Amino acid sequence: MYPIGHNYLVRAPKASYSMRTAPGKTPLWFVWVLAVLLLIFAGISYRVLASGLKRIVDTSIELPVSLSDFPAHIGSWAGDDLPIPRDYLWTLGKGVLYGHSESSGVLYGNHINIVSVLNLKRPQMEDKKKFLLDLAKIHDALTTQTENECIRRFLAFKVVLVAMSFEDLVNVRKYPSARKIRDVFLAHTQSSDFFAAFDASEEICKDKIDELISAMEAEMNEAYVPAPELTDTTLFRNITAILEKFHEDFYSGFRLSNNFLCTGEGQIKEISSNPIASVFYRYNSSRELSSFANYFISNLSQFSLSRLMLNSFKIDYILHAVNMCDTIFKDKNNRNSIDGLHEVIQREGIGNIEPLNKLKGEQSFWTLYKELRWLRNKLAGHMDKKEQLTDLMAKLEALNFQKAFDFVNELDKAVKQTSISHIVLRIHYYSFNQRIEDQNIIAMGEFKNRPYFEGKS
């Protein structure tokens, strides 16, 4: 038999549970415990998150400032509030509007918060800048189409006006001397002194105009494409014909004139700073410039004018029509306004003021004044920054322009009726470019502006 040997027994080490379990297998009871724990944790997390979300949704978000205070213009960009579509409003339910109408702005609803986005329209600003630059270049070119110094200054004065509108549009003011020219002849604080106006008109020269146009060109963000009018030889021929007709009617021969803007060849001027003379300086200056614009508007049926030029002269006519009214009736809503003819006559106690009083009491006249003044403020006094240029032009073209003509005629009729009631008023009223028909006059010692092209490089 086989002998019994030693038993070499070795005690096995204690194994962990995982070691004692066959690889790849998990006890069923452990799976159930783990699943229960996960469900409990998910439930707690859901309640915490849902509670926080409910507080966020139910609480209206308030901005530190109203969205209406957010700038609609940033540099050369302009924006408008996008409207909230009606179907969006219906879906969102009743909400709280934050400083805007129900169909636009910011809506804070019970279920969702949305913010309208500014629709930035850079081309809108560029269109306005190009519109002003086009007008400046066209009027500058037209100064070569006449030999009359006053008419040249009328055309150049338009360049000054659009250049100042351009500066306001881009928020860059570089030429205070040019702004003074505009203020002397058009602002509420117009000068009442002849030499203040004469000095300002002396600043209107070719060198100054070139400088203003160059500054406008430097502010253009896009490559400038000249308006077709600048190369339209037919248009220039027609405009030259109109300028010649205006020269014949207003500047041929010797003239008695108290136009504030220009002292030209063959003109007899009253040099005064008294209140009556001041009123008529300003009134007759705008009266003459409105007549200048009227020549172009009225010749539309005879000459082919572009839409750009026609609208430009309409804007000019409205500008000077409003200014004529402001020289007769003081704008008491503006603390910088100076007295008009109505206030001066009351103070001086001369003439029959009843025709002016009657006009002042006509509501229809002032309703039209407000309409014209609105257009003036948007397109002439300043270039509006918010409205689209196409919308502004549409409103200008929608105006029955006969109403603008009637406005000026009604105003001038009342001024004339008042003026003929006193010799002092009558002399000033009828010194509006009256031609002196006296063959014995062969020459005149002249006090006049320097030539417009003097010093041209």
Query: Full-prediction pTM beyond 0.75?
Result: no
Tokens of 225: 């494409």
Say which residue the tokens 């006509």 belong to: 362
Distance CA 434, CA 442 (A): 17
Looking at the DSSP assignment, which residues form a beta bridge with residue 268? 256
Q: Give me the mean pLDDT over the 65-83 stretch.
A: 59
Distance CA 186, CA 212 (A): 19
**Domain chopping of the chain, boundaries:** 124-435
At residue 364, the pLDDT reads 96
Q: Are strands 113-115 and 106-109 parallel, antiparallel or unpaired?
A: antiparallel
Q: Is the pLDDT of residue 213 over 90?
A: yes
- For residues 256 and 381, the answer to whether their CB atoms sit within 8 Å is no
Q: What percent of the chain has pLDDT over 90?
A: 29
Distance CA 315, CA 320 (A): 9
Going from the C-alpha of 30 to that of each of 27, 33, 377, 395, the distances in angstroms are: 6, 5, 83, 81
Q: Give me the helix-helix angle, 149-170 and 233-250, nearest 10°.
A: 120
At residue 106, the pLDDT reads 38
What does the pLDDT look like over 272-320, one tens digit per residue?
667 888 888 888 888 888 988 998 888 766 666 688 888 999 999 999 9
- For residues 110 and 116, the answer to whether their CB atoms sit within 8 Å is no
At residue 72, the pLDDT reads 63
Say which residue the tokens 């203003």 belong to: 212
What does the pLDDT look like over 330-368, one tens digit per residue?
888 777 778 889 999 999 899 999 999 999 999 999 999
Query: Which region among 92-101, 136-145, 197-206, 236-245 has the lowest average model confidence (pLDDT)?
Result: 92-101
Q: Give me the helix-helix angle, 176-186 and 149-170, nearest 10°.
A: 110
3-state secondary structure the chain: CCCCCCCCCCCCCCCCHHHHCCCCCCCHHHHHHHHHHHHHHHHHHHHHHHHHHHHHHHCCCCCCCCHHHCCCEECCEEEEECECCHHHHHHHCCEEECCCCCCECEEEECCCEEECCEEECHHHHHHHHHHHHHHHHHHHHHHHHCCCHHHHHHHHHHHHHHHHHHHHHHCCCCCHHHHHHHHHHHCCCCCCCHHHHHHHHHCCCHHHHHHHHHHHHHCCCCCCCCCHHHCCHHHHHHHHHHHHHHHHHHCCCCEECCCCCCCCCCEECCCCCCHHHHHHHHHHHHHHHHHHHHHHHHHHHCCCCCHHHHHHHHHHHHHHHHHHHHHHCCCCCCCCCCCCHHHHHHHHCCCCCHHHHHHHCCHHHHHHHHHHHHHHHHHCCCCCCCCCHHHHHHHHHHCCHHHHHHHHHHHHHHHHHHHCCCHHHHHHHCCCCEECCCCCCCCCCCCCCCCCCCCCC
